[in-house]
Structure 1
Amino acid sequence: MIIFHAGSLSVPFKQIADSFKTIYPNVNIILEASGSVDCARKITDLNRSCDIMASADYKVIDKMLIPVYAKSNFKFAANEMAIVYTDKSKYSNEINQQNWTEILLKNDVFYGRSDPNSDPCGYRSVFTIKLAEDFYKLPELATNLLDKDNNLIRPKETDLIALLETHTVDYIFLYRSVAEQHLLNYLILPDEINLKNPEMEALYSTATTEISGKTPGEKTTLKGEAMVYGVCMLKNAPNKIAAATFMKFLLNKNGGLKIMEQNGQPFFVVDLPKEF
């Protein structure tokens, strides 16, 4: 059984797969991580065989896979943006909710983010920066910060951890859950900019950005919204019975969802249709 999943799901999905295999030891599970948009493109553009796809943004599945490649999309987990660093990061003993913008703009500080065209964490980083410009009333913040350190943009958010651990960068924009899983320091951001709170959807939607569309040269405009992860089983899944059984386990609050929560990701209770 092959599962394409967002990089930020690497730790919990490994644990979920291991837990599943204690019940179904004969099922061979191959986990393949990449940015969520790239996960979908493997299916739509490269015609790669896959049973399940899990995205850090449920809308990637809605826009790219439904209805041709998948029938249903299940929202199953949440997250939030954070600024992540180590004890060796410059100004790490000073950074706080009030001054992080100033610190990231310093000439002697380097920061990393993931590619908005490949990875939801990438476009969510852009939303957070644009929302911060309004929240802190700092004109030109988004332009100045988004123009800085572009050589340090990476395909998916988990690639950024290597930059941080080798001290190539001082700070990265990353999901709080991934920071917790890797025992990294992180700055909690205000709800107004961290994309965590569904009640702030109207505010989040004021931030927009363009990413590559389905065809070369095409652009898609995205609006900010609260973070919701989605998962689907592919219509032409080569291992349908195993995939359906895994979906049932993943979306059970005493199974996979419990493991998600233990890894810092609050879950949504999911009502599975009868075919599972």
Structure 2
Amino acid sequence: MLVFAFTILVPIVMTFAFSFYDWNGYGEMRFIGLDNYDRALHDRIYLSSYTHIFIYIAATVVLEVLVGLGLAGLITMGRKGSSLFRVALFTPVMLPMIVVSFLWRFVYNSDFGLINTVLRAVGLDSWTQVWLGNPDTALLAICFVSGWVYAGFYMTIFYSGIQRISKDVYESAYLDGAHEGHIFFRIKVPMIRGLVKTGIMLCVLTGFQSFDLFYVMTNGGPYNSTEIVPTYLVKVVFSHMSTGYGSALAVILTLVIAALGLLANKLGRKGDALEY
């Protein structure tokens, strides 16, 4: 309890207390009440960072959870090479995100990157882009990288769940004339519904922690088009030296995540009750 209090409770209480002060982290603290919170509600960059992070979460639910579910269905068909395929897809999960971010910065490079090089080679020069320097493509490019990394993670979770389904269920389905598509959508997915819900919730809640990917690839640019709450917090506290305002932003973020967690839990219980 002492360790928990020192590492979790005390920082939370101190952050909440600092949010009511105008403080640069080392000088004199000046009490300003709710001014930091009022400033946050009128901070265009901070408010848009939530829009970016929700777009990122929506995209990663598709690129990570749904793609991972589809991949799990493919590798559980029992075809040759599925083990090698599973290892290859899980490999990006084991790479540090810093390494992945630098790797994809080279892939997206507008001059010698792999994507633009391939497009030029096949005669699609008009399709080339400054992928991470264009506000219209930068956020989607980062979402794709996240999907490339974590689709294998969710694939492994769903694969484990599908492996626990009794073979008798499949045999009965085959006797009734079902093909692989029917088995996937009407047997595999319904029987691991709980894992799919957990995967979506995990994807939503961890979407707010994607600091390293955004920081290395774009650091919120271009023109704040990929700014998310964690990257903006770092800039406010360490670049602008505004610890009090940064604490207020952190408190608001904590409340938003807590509200999402409670909402997801309530919807999950309601869904289970309806199924029952």
TM-score by length of 1: 0.26
Whose strand proportion is higher, 1 or 2? 1
Higher relative contact order (CA 8 A, sep 6+): 2
Structure with higher Rg: it is 2
More helix by share: 2
